[in-house]
Amino acid sequence: MKTLKTLAGALALTTALSGAAFAQTELSMWYHGAGSTVERELINQIISDFNASQSDWTVVLQEFPQIAYNDSVVAAAVAGNLPDIIDVDGPVMPNWAWAGYMQPLQLSEGALDGFLPGAIGEWDGEVYSVGLWDAAVAMYARKSVLEENGIRIPTLEEPWTKDEFDEILETLQATGDFEYALNLGMADQGEWYPYAFSPFLQSFGGDIVDRSTYLTAEGVLNGDEAIEFGEWWQSLFERDLVPGTSQDMADHQTGFIDGDYALQWNGNWVAVQALEALGDDVLFLPAPDFGNGPKIGAASWQFGVSATSEHPDGASAFIEFALQPEYLAAFSDGIGLIPATAEAAAMTENYAPGGPLEVFYGLSEAQATLRPVTPGYVFAALEFRKALSDIANGADVADALDAAVDAIDADIESNNGYGFEE
């Protein structure tokens, strides 16, 4: 009888434990940071904290290298085995949402209060993704060089104007101290072109597509303002103020620090390197105003929920958990990007008030402009990049921009407007 009771007790205990185990539902998550030991530690910490904080869900991480990530997601979507939680590059999100890879987030009201606009991924009136950080681009300069040449240090309130900027470039080039006055990063021929250079076009008054309809690029990518931008862009190369498309990646990465370039247009992810090399002499300056306000790109990697997830509530719960200020700050300290909220920025080493990179938070807040929020951006960005490259290499400005407009419009038409209507 005693044995029977023991057996019954053991069975009851086993059943209870099994029940508890079954209660935890597994959520698969893909992340683009494979190879980054820092990111791996940070994301694993969040997952570990989340898994321990409740008993409903267990997040299981699978990492991918960033370069291969988008192709892997598209392949998985074709095969029908997307995970529950994915991360997505901000400008790509509308394409994935439109293609049916993602579903809207189920976040609590107020969960995104105080977030930088570039960290929130909205499509079709709903939030599909949210980022723990944003990135910003600035004009890197040496204070000593500007002072030696009598160049005004611009501010957010009073950035350089187009004419002033042109004159500065000419002045710096004329000193003979530098190989080129400005490094635009032409060697980096990926998403850098639309991310870093389309804000110039927008500051001139043009754009990659017409944001009032998202149905055409006609008039914005080849209008008067765009032509003016294209001619200015071409003149930079004709006047030998900037290295061309054949720039060596090594020169791009070390040229400013080595003193080969007087100025550098680059992202905040290389700011710590510049600070270490140049100390207090390095300045991070706002974008010039070419007539329609100074602008820089916005939106970086963000978290979202796949359309095929059977547990969007759990996936959203994890994302909301990850949005806590301490995690935003930890990521910023770890990988150098801008925390998505001011509260988190105050907790970081670099972006806290008085911190060496605080200026980037201000830049992101004041100048950030989202790349066109349309599924067609992925294609349009490639055409924009090609046009800029061709113009830099001497192509006729109007012809190059017209060709880009034709290709973008044809793509929009062949995709039935990507869901946009007249």
Partner 1 sequence: MATVAEPNKNLKTGLKYLLLVLVALVFLFPMVFMVVSSLKPDLQLLRDTSSIAAFLPVGDISLDNYFAAFRRAPIGLFVFNSVFVTGLTVIGSLFLCSLAGFAFAFLEFRGKNLVLSIVIATLIVPFETIAVPMLMVVNTLPFVGPNGLQWGWLNTYHVQIVPFLADALTIFLFVQYFRDLPKELIEAARLDGATWFQVYAMVIMPIAGPVIATAAILKFLAMYNQYLWPLMVTQSEQFRPVMVGLQYFFQLNTAWGEVMAYLSLITLPVLAFYLFLQRAFIASIASTGIKG
Which residues contribute to the site for partner 1 (CB under 8 A)? 30, 34-37, 62-68, 71-72, 75-76, 78-81, 248, 250, 253-254, 258, 267, 269-270, 273, 335
Q: How far is the CB of 89 from partner 1 (least distance, A)?
A: 12
- Residue 303, strand partner residues: 87, 130
Residue 244 CB, nearest approach to partner 1 (Å): 17
Nearer to partner 1, 35 or 291 (CB): 35
Cα 414 from Cα 419, distance rounded (Å) = 12
Q: Which two tokens stand for residue 43?
A: 């994301």
DSSP secondary-structure letter at 384?
Answer: H
Compare residues 64 and 140 and give the one whose CB is closer to partner 1.
Answer: 64
Beta bridge partners of 133: 339
Burial of 407 (0-12, 13-18, 19+ CB in 10 A): middle
The distance of Cα 401 from the centroid of its chain, to the nearest Å, equals 25
Query: Considering the complex, what minimum distance in angstroms separates the CB of residue 75 from partner 1?
Result: 4
Residue 138: CB atoms within 10 Å: 23
What does the DSSP assignment read for 153-173? PP-SSSPPBHHHHHHHHHHHH
Q: How far is the CB of 251 from partner 1 (least distance, A)?
A: 8
> Least CB distance from residue 125 to partner 1, whole Å?
32
Indicate the residue among 203 and 264 with the shorter CB distance to partner 1: 264
CA dihedral 386, 387, 388, 390 (to 10 degrees): 80
The helix (H) or strand (E) run that includes residue 231 is helix 224-238
Pick 222 or 348: Cβ nearer partner 1: 348
Please identify, using beta-carbon distances, which residue of 171 and 254 lies nearer to partner 1.
254
Q: Which residues contact 133 (CB under 8 A, 6 or more apart)?
A: 119, 300, 301, 328, 331, 332, 335, 337, 338, 339, 340
Between 63 and 358, CB nearer to partner 1: 63
Provide the minimum distance between the beta carbon of 277 and partner 1 in the complex, in angstroms, as a whole number. Answer: 9
